[in-house]
A = this chain, B = another copy of it.
Amino acid sequence: MYPKSFKKLIDHFSSLPSVGPKMAERLVLYLFKQDKEKLMDFSESLANLKTNLRYCKKCFNISEGDLCEICRSGGRDQKTILVVEEPLDIIAIERVKKYDGLYHVLGGVISPNPKSKNDLKISELEKRVKEGQIEEVILATDPTTEGDATALYAARALKDSGVKITRLARGLSTGGDIEYADEITLGSAILNRK
């Protein structure tokens, strides 16, 4: 149906998460109508994504150099590590401006596949905790079954280090509705009242 080069780009877009084949068609048609310069610039950005960027050697955040901006910055609290699943979580937390410590990106969560544990940067976290003057590790994995399991696993790995281990608070979302809150959330909101 489509010319080959059109089809190929549609396939590339369809392979992205939450982009279906219909949406991919529309995106490619939209791009086809754009200036050639814009396309070339887009194409270059894609090609350079992995060239210019790598994972921070210390916290596994996305970084332009060996160490990311946060690890390089001397102005942050060096005694706290906040552990997240993905680099995007760091951006969400930084936006809130309530945290001034270091980060550690696990790179995912524990899945039913037992090998998944080995892909996570948990031994690297242990090493950082042992080596540094870390006083608190905040486990900020997602509030899901997998996130909780991962937090539990990380907490166990850090048990003998003597560091304080905390988890982000659970409760009602601001602007939410008690009537529509799910049972688990409402339950922990009652138990953790203050």
The oligomer's copy count stands at 2
A32-B49 in contact given A17-B26, A88-B26 (Cβ < 8 Å):
yes
A12-B49 in contact given A3-B64, A29-B86 (Cβ < 8 Å):
no
Say whether A1 contacts B47, CB under 8 Å.
no
Residue among B30, B69, B88, B95 making CB contact with A16, cutoff 8 Å? B30
- Which positions in A face B, CB cutoff 8 Å? 1-6, 8-9, 12, 16-19, 23, 25-32, 36, 39-50, 52-53, 62-64, 69, 86-88, 91, 94-95
**How far does the alpha carbon of A36 sit from the alpha carbon of B48 in the complex, in Å?**
9
**How far does the alpha carbon of A43 sit from the alpha carbon of B41 in the complex, in Å?**
10
A29 CB to nearest B CB, Å: 6
**How far does the alpha carbon of A42 sit from the alpha carbon of B11 in the complex, in Å?**
9
